[in-house]
Chains A and B, each alone.
Chain A
Amino acid sequence: MKKTVILLACWALTWFAATANAQLVIEITKSAEDAVPIAIVPFGWESTGAAPFDVAEVVAADLRRSGRFEPLDRKSMIDRPTQGDQIRFQDWRYFKTDFITVGKLMPEGQGFAAQFELYNVLTGQRLAGQRLTASANSMRALSHRISDIIFEQLTGVRGAFSTRVAFINVEGTPPKQRYKLIVSDYDGENQQTITTSDEPLMSPAWSPDGQSLAYVSFESKASAIYVQTLRTGERKRVSARAGINGAPAWSPDGKTLALTLSRKDGDVDVYTLELNSQVLTRMTFDPSIDTEPSWSSDGKKLYFMSDRAGGPQIYEVDVANPKRPTRVSFEGNYNARPRVSPDGKQLAVVHLDRGNYRIAIIDLASKGLQVLSEGRQDESPSFAPNGAVLIYATQEKGRGVLATVSTDGRTAERFTNTAGEVREPVWAPFPQR
């Protein structure tokens, strides 16, 4: 255990040094004890001078964050092979390392090529090997692709290290605050501002093709839902009705938005809005607050939060016949903001746990609830598209920061943004292969 802590500290230090100008600093808050040991040997550099980029560093961080792997600290490596025939497997067995990745980086055209191989240390078998190329400013993307290949090879699950997240960033103090909608790599790097406003921005939601974001903006001094296409920047206002326009959620086919409206009478209910026809259909009818809809993976059901029983709890309703919602959450007196796992079997929620708002998972079959996070005011859980990790926002020294926790609860990390507050992270779907 002590060894783990020291290793982590070294790892964090080297990471910090390697990315001194990055906006985010990563803090490991929990680390898995039974994760698979793997060695990601620093890549060789087939040219003069220092290597332009540390591929192995990014790959090791990715794999650690998944909760499935425990990368060997590079300071413990007595040897640094860069290709398969240089690996002395018996040495690596000594470190109880199950797998090893070696590779090298070389100049190619305007950018670089990375060649890597993955071996089983016990059998000496070569499991994967590829040569990837990237421009100089896409080296993180190249590294995430290598992580994806290793992860899929060893777990059988598609890696989500190349996916992106969207979140709201807030700077300044009330009443003068500046709101931004930002898209970044899942680890907070490569931030790109999608829109900015002096009035609140909220509730970003990815379209299922990952091409657009729906979100709430108060720029007209009232809430309205906008849909923005990322590549073109084209922006469309899709709902600006009287009262609340909130909580947009795309149906799996991308044709319909579920949303929350309060209309004129102030009754807060969930509706669906067919985007082409603009047909609005009411999904909830209770005088309580019904909001935060989330679609089931087959698009036939909506999960939502309602305080019809006194406190907020999760319910599900049949979209084709929305008259009779059934209750889904039973543990505790506060469960809100449901998000369905990619396999459709679990819900991530915000759960009030002995005075603390925490991220929890509800198993839809057993209705059992497991608390995953350890903060005081954690919010907005969102599943990675492979279901392995959740991203959420947590408070650190009074401001929101990004955090991840593996869905088995074994590893957790915090990404400390240096500028402003991070809210409502949402994980993008897989890019089309």
Chain B
Amino acid sequence: MRVTQLMLIAASGLMLAACGNKPLPEAGPSSEPVEPTTSTEGASSGSVGSSELSAEQQAMEAARQAGVIVYFDYDRAEIKPEFVPVVAAHAKFLNGNAQRKVRLEGHSDERGSREYNIGLGERRAQAVRRALMLQGVTENQITTVSYGEERPAVQGSDESAYGKNRRVELVYGR
């Protein structure tokens, strides 16, 4: 019993390490428009007060801390409990910055037929979109695209690679 509990605690710690505090991925084609940490000039042209800027920065920093990738189980599109805070942090940022837009890129692992996987990637992107909209983000702040299995995050044909590839990436336009 005690051992199980310890394992659970350890596992949840690992999970947090793996998911909750995930650093932002390196710039790459699908994650390239990562929000710059220090400046938001591009989006808010000029007349924003410094206190607002700081609030925006705070929310963005929180979203960055939470992570920009939501991972999914095999053949599923439900947002798992550990990723609810990720989506919430982005919802908070988007709510406070109505001019900002996010692009939700849905992906699947490589198994099965390609067009069905396009469908699965879309279903996952839509799940994140709905969660954001339920938390007040407006429709015109969100676009979705599904790449199915066409743009894997990692190569490989094992469960660890599959798990990293079943995902939605939240990408901010400039």
Residue numbers of A with Cβ under 8 A of B are 173-177, 198, 200, 202-203, 218, 221-223, 242-244, 246-247, 260, 262, 266, 268, 289, 291-292, 305, 307, 311-312, 334, 336-337, 350, 352, 357, 377, 379-380, 395, 398, 423-424
> Which residues on the B side are within 8 Å of A377 (C-beta)?
110-111, 157
Among B110, B113, B146, B153, the residue within 8 A (CB) of A244 is: B146
- B116 and A337 contacting across the interface, CB-CB below 8 Å: yes
- B113 and A305 contacting across the interface, CB-CB below 8 Å: yes
Bound state CA distance, A431 and B78, in angstroms? 48
- B114 and A424 contacting across the interface, CB-CB below 8 Å: yes
* 8 nearest A-B residue pairs (beta carbon): A289-B119, A266-B126, A200-B150, A336-B113, A175-B28, A337-B113, A247-B115, A268-B119
- B150 and A291 contacting across the interface, CB-CB below 8 Å: no
Asked if B29 is an interface residue, CB under 8 A from chain A, the answer is: yes
- For B30, the closest partner residue in chain A by CB is A175
Among A202, A243, A336, A423, the residue within 8 A (CB) of B116 is: A336
Q: A218-B150, A336-B116 are in contact. Are A266 and B122 (CB under 8 A)?
A: yes
> Which residues on the B side are within 8 Å of A289 (C-beta)?
116, 119-120, 122-123
- A202 and B114 contacting across the interface, CB-CB below 8 Å: yes
Bound state CA distance, A352 and B116, in angstroms? 14
Asked if B118 is an interface residue, CB under 8 A from chain A, the answer is: yes
> Which residues on the B side are within 8 Å of A244 (C-beta)?
118-119, 122, 146
Among A173, A246, A266, A350, the residue within 8 A (CB) of B118 is: A246
| 16 A-B residue pairs with CB within 8 Å | A176-B29, A198-B29, A218-B145, A218-B150, A223-B145, A243-B146, A244-B118, A244-B119, A244-B122, A260-B118, A266-B125, A291-B115, A291-B118, A291-B119, A305-B116, A377-B110
Bound state CA distance, A221 and B33, in angstroms? 13
- A200 and B112 contacting across the interface, CB-CB below 8 Å: no
> Which residues on the B side are within 8 Å of A334 (C-beta)?
112
> Which residues on the B side are within 8 Å of A221 (C-beta)?
145
- B119 and A379 contacting across the interface, CB-CB below 8 Å: no
- B147 and A268 contacting across the interface, CB-CB below 8 Å: no
> Which residues on the B side are within 8 Å of A395 (C-beta)?
157
Asked if B100 is an interface residue, CB under 8 A from chain A, the answer is: no
> Which residues on the B side are within 8 Å of A200 (C-beta)?
147, 150-151
- For B105, the closest partner residue in chain A by CB is A221
> Which residues on the A side are within 8 Å of B30 (C-beta)?
175
Which of A202, A221, A244, A398 lies at the interface centre, i.e. has the most chain B CB atoms within 10 A of its CB? Answer: A244
> Which residues on the B side are within 8 Å of A247 (C-beta)?
115, 118
Asked if B101 is an interface residue, CB under 8 A from chain A, the answer is: no
Bound state CA distance, A171 and B168, in angstroms? 24
Asked if B154 is an interface residue, CB under 8 A from chain A, the answer is: yes
Asked if B152 is an interface residue, CB under 8 A from chain A, the answer is: yes
